[in-house]
Amino acid sequence: MRRLHIIDVFSADPFLGNPVAVVLDAEGLSTADMQKIARWTNLSETTFVLPPTVQGADYRLRIFTPRSELPFAGHPTLGSAHAVLSVGGGGDRVQLVQECGAGCVVIIPSRDQGTSRYRLRLPKAVTTAVSAQTVAALVDVLGGEIDRSREPRVIDVGPKWLVAKMPSVDQLLAITPALGAMRALEESLGITGVTLYAESSVGIEVRSFAPSQGVDEDPVCGSGNGAVAVFRRLSGELQLGEQYAAAQGQCVGRHGRVEIELGLEGDVWVGGACVTTLSGSLAG
C-alpha cells in the first residue's frame, strides 16, 4: 500500500483551486505504472515522490498528465511539497528543494493565519516567436480575436505554453476553443498547451488548455501563470519587483488565486495556498 494524498492548490478551501494526486512512497513503480495511475486519477497531474539523486535535493518528483510525463509543473510542485511536509513534519522548514526533470526547484513554505502557503521559483524560461501562420491558426482555433498589440510567443518553463493576450476578460471567459483543432496545433508546434490571459481591475484572469495532454482545460495552472509572467515582462507590462494576483478556474467551477512576483533579479515566483482534501492508500 502506498500513501495517496489529493491536494487542492491555489485555494485555502477544499474543492476549489486545482487538485493534484500525490503518491508518496513511489519507489518500485515503473514509468508504465505511473502513467497508468495518472490515467486512472484523470486529474490534470499526478505526482510520484521518490528519493533524490542529486545532492541538496529533499526529494525527486515525477509528474504525469493522463497522457505523458512533464519535466516540471507548477501546481503539482506546490501540492507535492504540501503533502511531503504534511506526512513528514518539518513545519518549521524555511525551504525545500525538489529535484525534477527540469532540474532543482526551490520551494518556500509559510503559514498565514492557519493557511499553508507555498512559493516556487520558476525554472529559467526559453521564449520563441511564432509565425503569422501560427497566430492565424490560434485565432481560428479560439473562434475569437486576440490582442494583436502583444504577439503570441511560446514560453518554455518545462511545459511549453503558447501564450497570448485577449482584448478583455469578458472575451477571455466567453471563448469556447475547438479542442480537436487545438490539439492538432499543439502537436504541430511540439508544445504542452495554450495559455491565455486578460487584464482586469484587480490583476489578470487566465485560462489554460492542454487537450494534447488529456487536459481540455486546466483549472488553475502554475506553469501557465509563470509563462504569462515571463510574457508580460517581455512585453513591458511587468517590471522588476512587481507583484500581482491572477484569477483562474471560474469557467470550470474551480476558482483559484495565483500570486506572482517578479524578483529584482528577474526570477519569477509563483505561489498560493494549499489544502489537503483526501488522505488514503493506493492499492497495488
By annotation, the residues acting in catalysis are 45
d(CA 142, CA 165) in angstroms, rounded, equals: 12
> Among 222, 209, 218, 231, which Cα is nearest to 125's?
231
Q: Do 10 and 18 form a contact (C-beta atoms < 8 A)?
A: yes
- Residues 152, 168, 160, CA angle at the centre, nearest 5°? 30
Torsion (CA) 157, 162, 163, 169 in degrees, nearest 10 = -130
Residue with cell 500525490: 22
Q: Sign of the C-alpha dihedral, residues 166, 172, 177, 183?
A: positive
Query: To which residue does cell 467551477 refer?
Result: 253
Q: Which amino acid is at 222?
A: G
| CA 221, 82, 50, 43 torsion-angle sign | negative
C-alpha to C-alpha distance for 38 and 34, rounded to whole angstroms: 6
Task: Tell me the C-alpha distance between 57 and 251, whole Å.
Answer: 37
Instruction: Return the amino acid letter for 277.
Output: T
How far apart are the two ends of the chain, measured CA to CA in Å? Answer: 6
